[in-house]
Structure 1
């Protein structure tokens, strides 16, 4: 239940407070006018849907890059472990480097991130390991490892880019400002429509409709904010980083 109410925060109460005050002032001073609410859709709904869609695409791309990273790293480990020319100590060293790289990337992406330079350093150690033992690898095996290390680098770098660079801040700020202004514009217009179409209506209908629509808009904005960083493990739709971390049990036995 706690996760389902995670979209409710200080912004929610601020927006509802503004909506409540706007309706109160509208009713108190009998302030109403006829306004085309299509403008609201253009000003708020369109950019809000655009940012939500962009954040969702970033999440899907992150899943793709993490899968590529994990698959590439497991394949590199398999190629190294199945090389009979390597000593068991060398294979164990490579295994340690691979597990360290996986752990560091997941830690970097998580809620308590580390420096990305450490991730790059771990990837460089694996590349250096293969380069230093070039004569112990067949040409085909060496090329295979280098090809899959390209996937490892690509997956890690692209995932890091998604974490560091978000959807345009200006659009999100614009959406938030207009969500706060929405009840101020909407309340008098709704009041006009209700009073002109209904001979007698309860003022609580006006309060309910304005508060409910404001809650929907600010909740959508909060969902988009949570999707902005799909790695912080705070939202319902965050990526489960633990599923992409490589552990000892995921790799072949060193004796093979």
Structure 2
């Protein structure tokens, strides 16, 4: 792993917000020490107002990511099943049919990737493109597979695979659309920004026991930990956006390449 990759990962959770909140908390501590404003605030307030809601949100976002991963694997599995049906269920499978099925699946997964990696405001427009691809697959099953002699029962099975792809796509789309509770996220953001600053009197009180060289380590560390937790939760919110390290990568070309003839 190169140094640039390591630094890029670090800056995913330590960003401008971390710097601003850290500087403001250090400034607050400095002013409180300068003017003798000290207080022994309870740390349970930080645990209640920040740590618990953020950890709850991270846990919820991670579960949504795991659900999205399951739905994406279902999409791939049923897509491959359709391709194998085209390849193996016909007595004499034309190469043109296999090529067309690959093209249709590639187009479908390309549009799905485009939908999930773009702004949620464009979901309706992008969703229409996905369903046009689904419609093309449905027509292919009826016209090409049935037209080449696939038995009606096996055509019905292919349509079942397609319907299960519909369900998996809709489930993944709802995970993309509906995030963890927004009011809880807003609540956490407010207190993450304010509490390290409002706790200046506490840091000033604690600094009485420290040497001058480490006076501002505590407020800086508090800000770093709290804002970093918030950034981790932000990156987990949309598991398809390709920003965080834990996002789901939709590799269309790799999927198509693994559709062996």
TM-score normalised over the length of structure 2: 0.85
Once the two structures are superposed, what CA deviation does each residue of 1:133-156 show, in whole Å capped at 9, x if it has no partner? 546322331232122112211222
Q: Structure 2: how far apart are the matches of 1:94 and 1:4? A: 42
- SS class of match (1:4): helix
Contact 2:114–2:126 under 8 Å retained in 1: no
Helix, strand or coil for the counterpart of 1:179?
helix
- Asked if structure 2 preserves the Cα contact closer than 8 Å seen for 1:80 and 1:94, the reply is yes
The partner residue of 1:100 within 100, 107, 116 is: 107
1:227 aligns to what?
236
Q: What's 2:199 paired with?
A: 186
Please give the alpha-carbon distance, in whole angstroms, between the structure 2 residues aligned to 1:176 and 1:4: 20
Q: Is the 8 A contact 2:32 2:38 kept in 1?
A: yes
Q: What pairs with 1:138-217 in structure 2 (closer than 5 Å)? A: 138-193=151-206, 195=208, 198=209, 201-217=210-226
Q: Which residue of 1 aligns with 2:246?
A: 237
Give 1:61-140 correspondences, 5 Å limit: 61-82=67-88, 83-84=90-91, 87-110=94-117, 115-132=126-143, 134=146, 136-140=149-153
What is the DSSP-based 3-state SS (H/G/I as helix, E as strand, rest coil) of the residue aligned with 1:33? coil
Provide the rounded CA distance (Å) in 1 between the counterparts of 2:41 and 2:56: 25
Among candidates 12, 16, 20, match of residue 26 of structure 2: 20
In structure 1, how many angstroms separate the alpha carbons of the residues matched to 2:157 and 2:199?
62
Report the number of matched residues: 248
Unpaired stretches in structure 2, ≥5 consecutive residues: 1-5
Q: List runs of 5+ in structure 1 lacking aligned partners.
A: none
What is the root-mean-square deviation of aligned Cα atoms in Å? 2.3
Alignment of 1:245-256 (within 5 A): 246-247=255-256, 249-253=257-261
Name the CA distance, whole Å, in 1 between partners of 2:246 and 2:64.
Answer: 12
Residues 8-42 of structure 1 show CA distances to partners (whole Å, capped at 9, x for unaligned) of 22211221122112111111111112322112211
- TM-score, with length taken from structure 1: 0.87
